[in-house]
Homo-oligomer: A and B are copies of this chain.
Amino acid sequence: MSTVDLPDVQRSSPTHRLPINRVGIKGLRYPVRTEVDGEPESTVATLSLSVLLDPEERGTHMSRFVESVESLGVVSATSLPAIVRDLAQRLNTREATFEASFPFFLRRAAPESGASALVDYEGALRAVLSNDGEVAVKVIVRVPVTSLCPCSKEISDYGAHSQRGYVAIEASPASADLDVAELVSVAEAAASAPIYSLLKRDDERRVTMGAYDNPAFVEDLARSVAASLTAHPKIASFSVEIENQESIHNHSAWARIS
């Protein structure tokens, strides 16, 4: 039985003639090339792709999504519009979405010793092609930071609890070349201290005292990041969410501005 003879069940008529806003594949892990701080970087992404399905068509063509992934070049804020338009064309539809989530790395030098190592961040790039032909792009990061509690510092004779926090930013770029590393910089600048992978003793001293000198509530972090993003020339709109994994509780404090 050859391919041409096999019935194309997907093209039959559906029982319920409803449009499906998004249909496709998700959870596909694939090696991708992206750009971080202007440099090419290879990473492993988790991909989600979808298209609009018209009321008259029963099924989409799932294998074409994987073919689209196979043909990916560099995945960046700049290339996303072409990627999602290509996907729509392959599936013969007007609306489509593409999202790649991936770890990325930046080299960080410790503040005193200068010893350097890579810090890992979570990034994502999302594109939504709408019926009007426009592509909405989102550049997304999740950045680990140190936060130190201002209340704990103020009310205690000594010490102050600190913890690991995460700054999640979702930005609509005003400029196509918005880089995930630029969002990392905004997040780290708002924190009590940035995170490092490698710290020697004199670095740890500086980071400890620096965090104590810069206490920040989850609310302070959210507002500080929001103020920076509002003023950022490459960012049109954004949401920011902070999650502090409180060291004195087994739950998180969080704040969101959108």
Contact B6 A202 (CB under 8 A): yes
Interface string of A125-159 (1 = CB under 8 A from B): 00000000000000000001011111110111111
Collect the chain B residues with CB atoms within 8 Å of residue A217's CB. Answer: 9-10, 58-59
For chain A, the bracket of interface size reads: 35 or more
Distance from A46 Cβ to chain B, minimum over Cβ atoms (Å)? 9
Collect the chain B residues with CB atoms within 8 Å of residue A63's CB. Answer: 115, 198-200
Distance from A233 Cβ to chain B, minimum over Cβ atoms (Å)? 18
Collect the chain B residues with CB atoms within 8 Å of residue A255's CB. Answer: 20, 22-24, 53
Pick the residue among B21, B202, B256 that contacts A256 (CB under 8 A): B21
The answer to whether the Cβ of A247 comes within 8 Å of any Cβ in the partner chain is yes
A178–B256 Cα distance when bound, in Å, is 30
Distance from A220 Cβ to chain B, minimum over Cβ atoms (Å)? 7
Distance from A137 Cβ to chain B, minimum over Cβ atoms (Å)? 20
Closest to A157 in B: B209
Copies of this chain, whole number: 4
A103–B29 Cα distance when bound, in Å, is 9
The answer to whether the Cβ of A66 comes within 8 Å of any Cβ in the partner chain is yes
B-contacting 9-mer, from A76-84, A86-94, A168-176, A221-229? A221-229
Contact B151 A222 (CB under 8 A): no
Pick the residue among B8, B160, B198, B251 that contacts A159 (CB under 8 A): B160
Distance from A203 Cβ to chain B, minimum over Cβ atoms (Å)? 9
Collect the chain B residues with CB atoms within 8 Å of residue A243's CB. Answer: 26
Q: Identify which of A120, A197, A257 gathers the most chain B CB atoms within 10 Å of its CB.
A: A197
Contacts A22-B254, A201-B8, A249-B195; is A208 near B160 (CB within 8 Å)?
A: yes
Contacts A6-B201, A9-B155, A196-B248; is A58 near B220 (CB within 8 Å)?
A: yes
The answer to whether the Cβ of A232 comes within 8 Å of any Cβ in the partner chain is no
Distance from A87 Cβ to chain B, minimum over Cβ atoms (Å)? 15
Contacts A16-B227, A223-B18; is A30 near B159 (CB within 8 Å)?
A: no
CB-defined A-B contacts under 8 Å, sample of 28: A1-B205, A3-B200, A7-B154, A18-B227, A24-B255, A25-B252, A26-B251, A27-B251, A28-B197, A28-B251, A29-B120, A31-B105, A31-B118, A44-B103, A50-B254, A50-B256, A53-B219, A59-B150, A59-B220, A62-B253, A63-B200, A70-B116, A159-B211, A161-B162, A161-B208, A164-B246, A195-B250, A208-B248
